[in-house]
Amino acid sequence: MEASVFSVLFLSLCAFSFSPVRSQTNSTDSCSSNLAVSSLIPFYSSSFNCLSAWNSEGFILRYATTSNNTWSFVLSAPYTNAYIAIGFSSNGQMVGSSAMVGWATSGNGTVGTANQYYLGGVSPSDCPPGTGNLNVVKNSTVIVSQSSRLYLAFEITVDKPSPYLVYAVGPRGTLPSSNGYLTEHRDMASASFNANTGVISDAQSGRGFDKARKHGLLVLLGWGVLVPIGILAARYFKRYDPHWFYSHISIQTVGFGLGLAGIIMGFDLEDDEVDDYDKHKALGIAILVFGCLQVTAFLARPDKSSKVRKYWNWFHHNIGRLAIAFSIANIFLGLSIASESKSWYIGYGAFLGVWVITALLLEIRHWMKSDD
């Protein structure tokens, strides 16, 4: 189950229930209408909150909190012969969260299945049915199909639910295997959940580039790709004076600008509950400081004949190396925090491999020419 660059699965059966799927005539659902299957859900009442949880997929969520720290949820979505899912996450990511998943083999009176899954990784083998962290109220889970809508209802007991909800929908016409393993999801979305007020935000789809991915992409392209390329121009192409200098300055300026924009966008993503966020932020600030020092050094660059030029060179070169090292480390840390798929690691790792090999070849050529 994977959303674009995100590759994740729901896991672990902890609240397993079977309910007859009933086919009726009404094929729509909205917050302005009565819940069509209310008679089949014992805990449901008209006092539930309701919102259009995920507009692009037609998800409608009804929810309420009752006594004894019990939270009740009813999720409905168009029936597409695929599973629907709602998870509870500490950081808005699917990996590490627990979720309720439901599906039905048809909308014409067959039996539906609802399982709890724990997201332990990014592949089906990481997500075998069996356990989850949700304390699901016994006999509360209901999965029922009415015409072209699928309804998943359940209750959980918890002092304070996780601060994020995660939604997912499976590929059309593909259901989980007979042993309960899930296929890749077709799309996913996340929404913040304020347990104190009971307010749930609109879902942000995992498809495309949200603010977090824009932040990561800007920093990766700026300080993870362009700046290292600019270093090669300065180190190995000085014989093409003054073109190497203008190329170096142009590439570094664009790289610094993209990285700066990414860092500024990253400050707006602050979330203290995200693992390793503080490390990621600290490294980002250090990289920003190094970048600003380089800009300052360029503006204060002494003449080549100056006695302090050698000290300036040492400062400029080594601050640049530190900035590159910190940038590469922080990019991989950011990919880990975002639980990105292996393709991101492979893609950026391939670039670094080509960059290192190119630098080694150019360095060897530089040494050979120096000996001549």
Residue in 93, 83, 87 with CA at minimum distance from that of residue 122: 93
Please report the sign of the dihedral spanned by the C-alpha atoms of residue 344, residue 345, residue 346, residue 349: positive
Q: Please name the residue that has the structure tokens 């039996």.
A: 111
Was 317 annotated as part of a binding site?
Answer: no
Please report the sign of the dihedral spanned by the C-alpha atoms of residue 323, residue 326, residue 327, residue 328: positive
Read off the pLDDT of residues 243-282 as tens digits, 9 standing for 90 and up: 999 999 999 999 999 999 999 888 876 555 556 778 998 9
Give me the long-range contacts of 122-125 (CB less than 8 A, separation at least 24): 122/2, 122/7, 122/8, 122/9, 122/95, 122/339, 122/341, 122/342, 123/7, 123/9, 124/9, 124/181, 124/182, 124/183
Q: What is the dihedral of CA 287, 289, 294, 296, to 10 degrees?
A: 160
Read off the pLDDT of residues 274-311 as tens digits, 9 standing for 90 and up: 567 789 989 999 999 999 999 999 898 898 888 899 99
**Tokens standing for residue 205:** 């789809």
Is there a contact between 226 and 251 (Cβ–Cβ < 8 Å)? yes
Other C-beta atoms closer than 10 Å to the C-beta of 243 total 12
> What span, in angstroms and rounded, lies between the C-alpha atoms of 34 and 45?
10
Read off the pLDDT of residues 118-172 as tens digits, 9 standing for 90 and up: 987 777 777 777 778 999 999 899 998 887 899 999 999 998 888 889 999 988 8
Q: Check residue 38 and report its DSSP letter.
A: G
φ, ψ at 228 (rounded to 5°): -60, -35
Residue in 196, 197, 157, 152 with CA at minimum distance from that of residue 71: 157
Was 316 annotated as part of a binding site?
Answer: yes
* pLDDT beyond 90 at 178: no
Is there a contact between 232 and 358 (Cβ–Cβ < 8 Å)? yes
Read off the pLDDT of residues 353-367 as tens digits, 9 standing for 90 and up: 999 999 999 999 888
Region 307-324 average pLDDT: 92
- For residue 173, give the H/E element and its range: none
* pLDDT beyond 70 at 346: yes
Other C-beta atoms closer than 10 Å to the C-beta of 333 total 16
> What span, in angstroms and rounded, lies between the C-alpha atoms of 85 and 94?
11
Region 210-232 average pLDDT: 89
Average of per-residue pLDDT values in the chain? 83
Was 366 annotated as part of a binding site?
Answer: no
Region 5-13 average pLDDT: 32
